[in-house]
């Protein structure tokens, strides 16, 4: 559960948010430096790690926050394709479906079915047609939702 956005935050609250026992000894410097757990920079707010370290830097910190995602479109043509050019040849595609993606929608980024990043797109290791910020691209997506290749249509 994220830390509050205002009011009192205790050291035990920070420990708990970092997945530690609430009564563990804690140093703000070590906590901000990732000694206990890596700081989740996907959180809407997180401590800056710069001295002097202050407990107020922990307001709104969510250690379990998912990645910041961008909405895109997946064009379900009813088929999967073995090459980018073949996938691109299906235009005009069928009705678009909402998808969300991490990063800029390039190689190594992840495509999700949901805006929370809980369900990766099952790509069948085939090229599929998407709008990932630049219309008409065929992306080779593996079964974990990871973009392996991009072909611009």
Q: Provide the residue-wise pLDDT of the chain in tens; the chain has 153 residues.
A: 899 999 999 999 999 999 999 999 999 999 999 999 999 988 889 999 999 999 999 999 999 987 788 999 998 776 667 889 988 887 666 778 999 998 899 999 999 999 888 899 999 899 988 999 877 899 999 999 999 999 998
In this structure, what are the phi and psi dihedrals at residue 70, rounded to the nearest 5 degrees? -115, 140
- Tell me the C-alpha to C-alpha distance, in Å, between residue 142 and each of 59, 71, 87, 107, 149: 37, 19, 15, 11, 10
């Amino acid at each position: 559960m994220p830390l509050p956005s205002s009011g009192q935050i205790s050291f035990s609250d920070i420990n708990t948010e970092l997945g530690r026992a609430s009564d563990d000894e804690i140093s703000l410097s070590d906590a901000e430096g990732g000694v206990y757990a890596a700081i989740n920079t996907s959180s809407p707010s997180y401590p800056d790690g710069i001295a002097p370290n202050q407990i107020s830097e922990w307001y709104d910190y969510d250690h379990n926050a998912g990645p910041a995602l961008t909405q895109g479109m997946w064009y379900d043509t009813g088929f999967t394709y073995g090459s980018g050019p073949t996938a691109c040849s299906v235009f005009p595609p069928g009705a678009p479906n909402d998808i969300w993606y991490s990063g800029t929608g390039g190689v190594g980024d992840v495509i999700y079915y949901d805006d929370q990043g809980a369900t990766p797109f099952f790509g069948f290791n085939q090229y599929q047609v998407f709008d990932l910020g630049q219309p008409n691209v065929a992306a080779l997506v593996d079964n974990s939702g990871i973009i392996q290749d991009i072909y611009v249509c």
